[in-house]
Amino acid sequence: MTMVMGMKKATRDDKSEVKAVKFSSDSKVLATASYENTVRLWDIATGALLQTIDREDINLSLLQNR
């Protein structure tokens, strides 16, 4: 795995491959949604993981870029 902005970049066959990304309105936080039904919130300035939301009922379509 390689690092992107301090975050791990998933490989193609990894279940944690990112499906969608969305910036917060103040551009300080990045939300990434994965195929494993996990949403991770990242601090843009530091690349630190702020929170992981792991739920079976996450609607990934809410995070898709339009």
Q: What is the pLDDT of residues 21-54, one digit of tens each?
A: 999 999 999 999 888 888 899 999 999 999 988 8
pLDDT of 12 strictly over 90 = no
- The pTM is what? 0.62
Q: Are 52 and 36 in contact (CB under 8 A)?
A: no
pLDDT at 7: 52
DSSP SS3 for 61: helix
In this predicted structure, what is the pLDDT of residue 13? 47
